Structure 1
Amino acid sequence: MIRPLRWDPCIAHSGAEVDSFIADYFATADRKVLLIAGAGFDPRSTAVAERLSAAGAPVRAILFQESRPKPAQGLIERAKANAGALTSAMVDHVLIPIEIFGSDGAVVGGRNVVGLLGRQTFDGISDVIVDTSALSVGTSFPIIRYLVERIESGKGPPNLHLFVAHDPTLDAAIQSVPSDAPGYVHGFKGGSTLDGSATAAKLWLPQLAAGRRGALGRLHDFVGPHDTCPILPFPASDPRLGDRLAEEFLIELESGWAVDTRNIVYADEEDPLDLYRTILRLDDLRKPVFREVGGSLLVLSPLGSKVMALGALMAALERDLPVAYLESISYDLDKSVPSTSATPNLIHIWLEGEVYPQPRPALHSEGTAVL
């Protein structure tokens, strides 16, 4: 049975539409805004905050600084400059360091950030904005799930917005060093650990990204899927990107993962809703096929493009799908990359709020709440 989608239709904007939306919506006197963003080295860190400041919106900001072992000095300097720009734009702010790894090497960033949010007050806040531009998947996904579950339980805030500054060239330029411990993002184990899923036909949906062969290889071994449907960006700003990724992962596609070319998933690089709908369509198609033989389980691994990661996030939230991820120990960014992104392509998703009629299609949770 095809289930109604929670975010279809969905209020979304991109490019110049985002600038207009920020200027019109957040400048009104009745909006009291909480911005949650990353104060990191990413050149896109300040794009959303600066536009909110220019609109004259009354904003309180929670700025998270992700801390990893032995960061490069150049990245520290970039992060300090971005933090300075953010705190200048957001006068009412708090700057909070987040340890991504524990003393034993375990990934604790998602749990830490949710714990800190749980001690924050949302009284009087009309809109919460999560800017994922400078936040990792391991941090941003738990933040967003926490907020969605607050709203579902009637605790507010009334409106939840997601923003990301899209720059595929920059995504490719940021080189990450993955850890050796794949796992599930905090709050996103889905049905993967339930006894009823032990015999389920497991389909892995990894988002292919340049330079991530090693990380995706470890994730494949961790997930142990029965089938794999890699996700390639198409259409994309670079028409040849999908071909280059297929060439880079040729060994995995042909032998390591034994992927039938008909099982490759194509998703619009600049539209998170395209991947969201595709994932849920696959879920709907597989459910009746495998119902009598243990069921079906989709496992997501969003690496690379932050925009496509939002599409995976929305699907994971709606169907409580597990998200297998390999956290980065460190990053590297060439010195030639500008310290700020001059013309980022902003994407906005109005995830929850007064704009949607009630009641809405329910989220399908397996009891993995992060509240």
Structure 2
Amino acid sequence: MRPDYRWDPCIAHRGTEVDAFISDYFAQSDRRVLLVAGAGFDPRSLAVATRLGLVNDKVRAVLIQENRPNPPQSHAHRAQANTKALLASIVDREVVPIEIFGSDGAVIGGRNIIAALNRQALEGISDIVVDMSALSVGTGFPIIRYFVERIGRGNGPTNLHVFVAHDPRLDANIRSIPSDAPGYVHGFKGGSTLDATAAAARLWLPQLAAGRRVALGRLFDFVEPHDTCPILPFPATDPRVGDALAEEYLTELQSTWSVDTRNIVYADEGDPVDLYRTILRLDDLRKPVFAETGGSLLVLSPLGSKVMALGALMAALERNLPVAHLEPIGYDFEASIPSEISKPNLVHVWLEGDGYPQPRPALLAQGSPVR
């Protein structure tokens, strides 16, 4: 246990524990919940909303509709069906359309979602629930940072929960179509653009995922790291997925990125806290080594598994780390993918709130502590 890590220990639940937690905690009469979730084609869209709606009639939902240019008609039909089911599961709700790209092709989704959240009234709300299952990194990460910082300023509800429907095979089968403009997720530039870190040894931590070679290649050129430590899932639902990914990225590992096999990072595919701790340990190990030569800067690129992306998000929040990202202009998937996951494997992390003793280790935001 590291008492100087904000989420170690961390209150988290997986599998059947999540259903038990929802039934026990959110059914309490004093719980007033604001749910922020995606209303798109992803079959995991309904998993958390329907469960909350069954145990608590005081849930208000903000359903985010991520709009990208020229979506296929099949995607639109699935999104409409999911939205209709979401509207039926929660009485007090609204659909908020968010344009991800501007007319000039610039990524504006993160700024748009923050503007939409600023219009939400939070009086009387006891718990914020963010369901990352059907939200992209470029949208979900700014949402969570927004609420973490509000709570840190004492300007928001006490409790913040993040849920993810864990399905790595589905994450692999929904293939993103990368845009041409890599950048940093809104609110997650970290120290990447500061003169003070210009001479820092830049370590890139990309999360390897099937079918993402083009995106990761563009991100590598954008980040220009001095070293690269790819992240592979282990243990994983499919015990051979790590070998398959190493084979798919063999050229990058051996040539383009020049990765020493000892520098490959392994993290539990189903436990976000495992990757969170691993990233912080790497940061701690590098700081004294590079202290006299310009410092060290870790740059994260979470792709693939949403649970592992949540672990990267927690580390980025705690250490104000930059998150380099290539916003998808669209998605592609097989028609055989089900329209709904009947028995999702849910993961819950209680990020902020009553469950933690005070005071807690501080977060870093723009280089200064936020409590």
> What TM-score results when the alignment is normalised by the length of structure 1?
0.98
Residue in structure 2 matched with residue 301 of structure 1 by the alignment = 301
Q: For residues 172 and 363 of structure 1, what CA distance do their matches in structure 2 show?
A: 32
Q: Aligned AA for 2:293?
A: V
Q: Secondary structure at the match of 1:163?
A: strand
- Structure 2, unaligned runs of 5 or more: none
**Residues 1:277 and 2:277 are matched in the alignment:** yes
Residues 1:200 and 1:61: Cα distance change in structure 2 (over 3 Å): same
Name the counterpart of 1:187. Answer: 187
1:316 maps to which residue? 316
- For residue 250 of structure 1, what is the aligned residue in structure 2? 250
Task: State the AA in 1 paired with 2:242.
Answer: G
Q: CA deviation at 1:54?
A: 1.6
Answer yes or no: is the 8 Å Cα contact 1:202–1:298 preserved in 2: yes
Q: Deviations over 1:16-70 (max 9, x none)?
A: 0000000110011100000000000000000001111121341000000000000
Aligned residues between the structures: 369
Partner of 1:143: 143
Q: Which residue of 2 aligns with 1:344?
A: 344
User: What is the one-letter code of the residue matched to 1:152?
Assistant: G
Segment of structure 1 superposing worse, 321-330 or 336-345:
336-345
Any idea what SS the aligned residue of 2:291 has? helix
Structure 1: 5+ residue runs without aligned partners? Answer: none
Aligned residue for 2:166? Answer: 166
User: Post-superposition shift, 1:278?
Assistant: 0.1
Partner Cα distance (1:20, 1:58) in 2:
19
Structure 2 equivalent of residue 59 of structure 1: 59
- Displacement of 1:368 in angstroms is 9.3
Q: Distance in 1 between matches of 2:298 and 2:58?
A: 41
Question: How far is 1:365 from its partner?
Answer: 2.0
When the two structures are superposed, what TM-score results if normalisation uses the length of structure 2? 0.98
User: Could you say what secondary structure the match of 2:364 adopts?
Assistant: coil
1:194-273 mapped onto 2 (5 Å cutoff) = 194-273=194-273
3-state secondary structure, aligned to 1:31: coil
Question: Partner letter of residue 89 of structure 1?
Answer: S
1:194 and 1:321 map into 2 onto residues whose CA distance is 12
Residues 103-153 of structure 1 show CA distances to partners (whole Å, capped at 9, x for unaligned) of 000000001000110111110000000000000000000000000000000
SS of the residue corresponding to residue 165 of structure 2 reads strand
Equivalent pair of 1:26/1:57 in contact (CA under 8 Å) = no
CA distance in 1 between counterparts of 2:56 and 2:327 reads 36
CA-CA distance at 1:367 after TM superposition: 5.2
Inter-partner Cα distance in structure 1 for 2:95 and 2:344? 24
Contact 1:190–1:368 (Cα < 8 Å) also in 2: no
What code does the residue aligned with 1:69 have?
P
CA distance in 2, matches of 1:92, 1:269: 35
The correspondence of residues 30-69 of structure 1 with structure 2, limited to 5 A, is 30-69=30-69
**CA RMSD of the aligned region, Å?**
1.3
Question: Over residues 317-357 of structure 1, what are the superposed CA-to-partner deviations in whole Å (9 max), with x where a residue is unaligned?
Answer: 00000000000001112111110012110000000001111
